[in-house]
């Protein structure tokens, strides 16, 4: 395990205490709580966006209305920071296999049913990836993406899968993805501004940054760094709150047992990883999905709850509460029955629809274990 620095340990301690207090407030309020962190991160992000638009207006004004070449050149310099934001970034997303709605009508109907129960729109498209994860996000003006990790899907029972989908759809219902994208753009803007005023390899000699360049840029760079750090911390608190609210949507749709199973499976990520790894290097080439399900089913209820949570903590700049706190919230609130339940025949139909994408994603996962690790 990588040893934490003193600052990381302090951040972890603060985040843990904040998460526990947030869970306590949600329990006392029956699952409801004020969202001050979201409002704070929204205001801070808005300040960045307003500054960006002001820079653009100033730069355009100088270029178009400048009386001489000096003013026009200054306008181009002013437009440089906003222009850098438009440069393409190298995508680090995992390889995704898009599910064709026409080829997966039962899954599409299930997502529509779950979305309607949460009073939101279903995702624009669904994709399968090879990560032990799932996430929801916005792309473009109207596109809603829901990405589900094949190994996590394989590890979950039927109600656990509904809980997983309910959690991600809960982010759409609560407009978390809209807020997150708005703040993310502000964070990206600040990061690019900091890059522009950071003397690194471009002005360094033999890998050493000149002291003069560091001192000259410090009055601009340090306030930006401090503001970015503050935005990260405030938005992290808002994001952790959003995760707990999405867990409420998860339990509402799948019932408390399904939500608990989904969260406990997250704690078993290492078990899933080991099962997939062993199956991948086995000369007999067993089915990864079968091996993952078998390994997870073999973990007793006692063993699930005895998994140490010491390493499952969130520092201030992370976006999820500890899974232990998320479990504590679900167990502290009144138990609820499933709102959506499918029979085995319906799940068999969904499994058949997803089998090509699941097999392809798990094959890539197995190839990764065999050839790159």
264-291 pLDDT, tens per residue?
998 888 899 999 898 888 888 888 999 9
pLDDT greater than 70 at residue 162: yes
What's the chain look like in SS3? CCCCCHHHHHHHHHHHHHHHHHHHHHHHCCCCCCCHHHHHHHHHHHHHHHHHHHHHHHHHHHHHHCCCHHHHHHHHHHHHHHHHHCCCCCCCCCCCEEECCCCCHHHHHHHHHHHHHCCCCCCCEEEEECCCCEEEEEECCCEEEEEEEHHHHHHCCHHHHHHHHHHHHHHHHCCHHHHHHHHHHHHHHHHHHHHHCCCCCCCCECCECCHHHHHHHHHHHHHHHHHHHHHHHHHHHHHHHHHHHHHHHHHHHHHHHHHHHHHHHHHCHHHHHHHHHHHHHCCCCCCHHHHHHHHHHCCCHHHHHCCCCCCCCCCCCCCCCCHHHHHHHHHHCCCCCCCCCCCHHHHHHHHHHHHHHHHHHHHHHHHHHHHHC
Query: pLDDT tier at 48 (50, 70, 90 boundaries)?
Result: very high
Nearest to 175 by CA among 234, 254, 134, 121: 121
- Choice among 7-16, 78-87, 300-309, 342-351 with the minimum mean pLDDT: 7-16
pLDDT of residue 92: 47
Kindly provide the b/e burial profile for residues 124-136, where b requires at least 16 CB atoms within 10 angstroms of the residue's own CB.
ebbbbbbbbebeb
C-alpha 58/C-alpha 109 separation (Å) is 50
C-alpha 155/C-alpha 160 separation (Å) is 9
> What percent of the chain shows pLDDT beyond 70?
79
**What is the rounded average pLDDT of the residues 14-18?**
59
Query: pLDDT tier at 354 (50, 70, 90 boundaries)?
Result: very high
pLDDT of residue 202: 47
pLDDT greater than 50 at residue 201: no
**What is the rounded average pLDDT of the residues 115-123?**
94
Give the relative orientation of helices 176-196 and 36-65 as an angle to the nearest 10 degrees: 50
Q: Does the predicted TM-score (pTM) go above 0.85?
A: no
pLDDT of residue 322: 81
**What is the rounded average pLDDT of the residues 125-136?**
92
* Cβ proximity of 142 and 124 under 8 Å: yes
C-alpha 326/C-alpha 272 separation (Å) is 20
**What is the rounded average pLDDT of the residues 77-82?**
73
Query: pLDDT tier at 1 (50, 70, 90 boundaries)?
Result: very low
C-alpha 144/C-alpha 148 separation (Å) is 13
C-alpha 166/C-alpha 173 separation (Å) is 10
- Choice among 208-222, 229-243, 260-274, 299-313 with the minimum mean pLDDT: 299-313
């Amino acid at each position: 395990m990588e040893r934490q620095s003193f600052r990381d340990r302090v951040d972890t301690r603060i985040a843990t205490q904040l998460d526990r207090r947030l869970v306590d407030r949600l329990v006392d309020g029956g699952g409801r709580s004020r969202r001050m962190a979201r409002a704070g991160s929204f205001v801070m992000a808005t300040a960045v966006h307003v500054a960006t638009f002001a820079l653009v207006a100033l730069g355009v004004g100088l270029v178009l209305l400048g009386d001489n070449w000096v003013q026009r050149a200054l306008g181009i310099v002013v437009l440089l920071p906003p222009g850098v934001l438009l440069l393409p970034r190298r995508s680090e997303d995992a390889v995704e296999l898009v599910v064709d709605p026409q080829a997966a009508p039962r899954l599409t109907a299930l997502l529509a049913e779950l979305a309607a129960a949460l009073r939101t729109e279903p995702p624009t498209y669904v994709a399968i990836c090879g990560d032990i994860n799932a996430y929801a996000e916005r792309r473009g003006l109207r596109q809603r993406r829901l990405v589900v990790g094949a190994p996590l899907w394989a590890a979950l029972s039927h109600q656990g899968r509904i809980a997983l989908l309910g959690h991600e759809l809960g982010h759409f219902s609560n407009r978390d993805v809209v807020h997150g994208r708005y703040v993310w753009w502000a964070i990206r803007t600040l990061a690019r501004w900091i890059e522009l005023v950071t003397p690194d390899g471009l002005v360094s000699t033999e890998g050493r940054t000149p002291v003069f360049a560091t001192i000259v840029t410090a009055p601009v760079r340090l306030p930006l760094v401090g503001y970015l750090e503050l935005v990260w911390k405030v938005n992290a608190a808002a994001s952790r709150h959003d995760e707990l609210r999405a867990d409420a949507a998860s339990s509402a749709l799948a019932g408390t047992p399904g939500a608990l199973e989904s969260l406990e499976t997250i704690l078993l990520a290492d078990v899933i990883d080991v099962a997939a790894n062993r199956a991948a290097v086995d000369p007999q080439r067993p089915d990864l999905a079968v091996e993952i399900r078998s390994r997870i089913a073999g973990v007793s209820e006692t063993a699930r709850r005895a998994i140490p949570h010491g390493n499952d903590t969130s520092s201030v700049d992370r976006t999820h509460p500890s899974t232990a706190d998320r479990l504590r919230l679900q167990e502290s609130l009144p138990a609820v029955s499933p709102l959506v339940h499918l029979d085995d025949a319906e799940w068999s139909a969904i499994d058949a629809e997803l089998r090509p994408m699941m097999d392809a994603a798990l094959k890539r996962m197995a190839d990764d274990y065999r050839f790159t690790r």
